[in-house]
Structure 1
Amino acid sequence: MAKPSAHPLEQALADFSPGLPFAVAFSGGADSTALLLACAQRWPGQVRAVHIHHGLQDAADAFEAHCRDLCQQLNVPLAVRRVQAGHAPGQSPEDAARKARYAALAEAVHSEWPDVPDIALAQHADDQVETLLIALSRGAGLPGLASMPAQWRRQGLNWHRPCLAVPGAALREWLKEQAQPQSWVEDPSNTDERYTRNRIRARVLPALAEALPAFRETFARSAAHAAQAQEVLNEVAAMDLAQVGVPPCIQALQQLSRARQALVLRHWLRQHHATTPSTAQLHELLDQVAACTTRGHQLHLKVGQGFVERKGQHLAWTGQENVRPMGTI
């Protein structure tokens, strides 16, 4: 008699090898509940949970109370952090909340459990497809098409997304199989179609499932190809930046093709100044670099969250907060 195949979530965790003990980001929703419960079963006594209270809706207090109750039932230590994420001009509230959430997750782990090296997030296959479609709708390049990485290191932690190959519906099915049909809370904002991601989830994914039944797997494969290609380009950009110098020498930049100039300038701005130029800003910067054929040619362009200027034979970047208003000393 053939052995029944493992559930996709159980298979995903079989391929997941975190350092022990480790933490799980726990919102109280179905996805993170399935991940937390499955991890607690697989690694009893080795799992910690972090809940971020955003305060963005009236139900936030109830979410926190639910998370505390469930973690107590599972005997999983829980840390709660409250954030109020304001967004900068030109930044979406969702992006501001995401950055605040990741910072709070890292702070909670470091403060509560200094011996914890890893944290797991519950994004799944549907989330990955949504991310890819949003990137396509914005005309993103390879970094956007690569979508969400399965693992990366930042803020002194190893971050993991072990469920990226698991459909969201499969996580809810697994919870029901565990006799946990009411173990999660439903975030009402997840059905608000004013948000692009929710419109994709409600309207596009069902149509894709009907027209292209294997779309989750094939889209994920395309995202993985994009990520691999971007990794190669990052290596080329790092080598080119070592040649043109930091800050970049204009004459050395001019020896590269325009495409490689774009690559190395993006890399310089991202790695050394944590900013990203828009496509229009980068094209204008490349035009200005090409025009720097005399000592007197000046360059002062808005790029990302600051300005790129010509300083002698080199380019320099200044953050917007450090730019002096005209007429000041």
Structure 2
Amino acid sequence: MTLSFEQAMAAFEPRLPLAVAYSGGADSTALLIACATKWPGQVKAIHVHHGLQAAADDFEAHCRSVCAALDVPLTVQKTDARHALGQSPEDAARRARYAAFQALTTIKHGPDAIQSMALAHHADDQVETLLLALSRGAGLPGLSAMPERWTRGGISYHRPLLRVSGADIRRWLADQNAGFVTDPTNIDPRYTRNRIRAQLLPVLETCFPQFRDTFARSSTHAAQAQALLLEVAAQDLAQVGVAPRIKLLQALSTPRLANVLRHWLLSCHQATPSTAQLTELMRQIGACQTRGHALRLKVGQGVCERRGGELHWYNL
């Protein structure tokens, strides 16, 4: 169910002290002001300087000015968010941000140590994430879109605005008469997410006024199904071994084999196979009917190969 900005903030009760990811944009500005007002003296801001555009220094200066006015401590983390060959710029920037958040939130210990981190993603961002996943033929992890909360490295991460529309956030921010910066890359039509925001969301609003709620419900169903698959995968991996035994893999049904292989590759090696790679890996596992049958296949950024009766993966 979609909430107003005020309802979402009233329901938000993180462990304190709290850090807010602050870009200087409208959404994170609203979140920072609301959190600083609700928990004075218990909120800090983190600004990640990506260094990808000329305006980045101006964004930092704006953030420093706003935080000084709010009496909120600000930490600026400069990071290299350039994307590698074959990696999307958005993914590279996202990974750089989370690496910076993790580094900054775990520096201090004691009563002032950050307990929670708040991100300003909202309901429209969630819809965009789901539509992007559908456009790429994603499975359940992609269709689950963004979680409202999770824990990483002892820090509780929250998206308290995930059921609030972008328009309602801006309504609240206008009432505060607060200034914010506009990132020009957010309206650049070269990025698929921006085309979804500018072209698809207005059409969905006209055809399906409740699309934020119904899409969120579908993502919740996908997340629940994915959680069940992870439980099954963990049980199967315990049976076949961390260096999976090929004979035991061959005894699994095709869906369970695909499920446990994905889980093994990601949880043990941080490798994600393409659909084509996974299909071929399963075919080759099934073909290993003799002791001397070789198996060697590129999977993710590494190689899977047979060593005796086991399947191994190593980085290139």
TM bucket, shorter chain: over 0.9
Give the structure, 1 or 2, with the largest relative contact order (CA under 8 Å, sep 6 or more).
2
Instruction: List per-residue Cα deviations over 1:97-126 (Å, max 9, x = no partner).
Output: 110111011112222676112101000000
Instruction: Give the match for residue 206 of structure 1.
Output: 202
SS in 2 for 1:107: helix
1:24-39 aligned within 5 A: 24-39=20-35
1:187 aligns with 2:191: no
Shift of 1:90: 1.7
Instruction: Give the match for residue 254 of structure 2.
Output: 258
RMSD over aligned CA atoms reads: 1.3
Instruction: List per-residue Cα deviations over 1:75-110 (Å, max 9, x = no partner).
Output: 111000111123233211221111011101111222
Moved over 3 A (4+): none
1:98 aligns with 2:124: no
Shift of 1:156: 3.3
Q: For 1:261 and 1:7, how far apart are their aligned partners in 2?
A: 41
SS in 1 for 2:291: coil
Q: For 1:250 and 1:206, how far apart are their aligned partners in 2?
A: 51
Identity of aligned residues (%): 62
Q: For 1:28 and 1:111, how far apart are their aligned partners in 2?
A: 23
Structure 2 unaligned residues grouped into runs of 5+: none
SS in 1 for 2:304: strand
1:92-241 aligned within 5 A: 92-111=88-107, 115-180=113-178, 183-241=179-237
Q: For 2:223 and 2:157, how far apart are their aligned partners in 1?
A: 17
Count matched residues.
Answer: 313
Instruction: Give the match for residue 326 of structure 1.
Output: none
1:12 aligns with 2:8: yes
SS in 1 for 2:151: strand
1:265-280 aligned within 5 A: 265-280=261-276
After the TM superposition, which of the residue ranges 111-120 and 226-235 deviates more from structure 2?
111-120
Is the Cα–Cα contact under 8 Å of residues 192 and 198 in structure 1 kept in the other structure? yes
1:48-87 aligned within 5 A: 48-87=44-83
Is the Cα–Cα contact under 8 Å of residues 22 and 117 in structure 1 kept in the other structure? yes
Is the Cα–Cα contact under 8 Å of residues 28 and 63 in structure 1 kept in the other structure? yes
TM-score for both structures, normalised by structure 2: 0.96
After the TM superposition, which of the residue ranges 159-168 and 80-89 deviates more from structure 2?
80-89
Q: For 1:251 and 1:93, how far apart are their aligned partners in 2?
A: 41
Instruction: Give the match for residue 302 of structure 2.
Output: 306
Is the Cα–Cα contact under 8 Å of residues 108 and 114 in structure 2 kept in the other structure? no
Is the Cα–Cα contact under 8 Å of residues 9 and 166 in structure 1 kept in the other structure? yes
Q: For 1:316 and 1:200, how far apart are their aligned partners in 2?
A: 40
SS in 2 for 1:111: coil
Is the Cα–Cα contact under 8 Å of residues 52 and 81 in structure 2 kept in the other structure? no
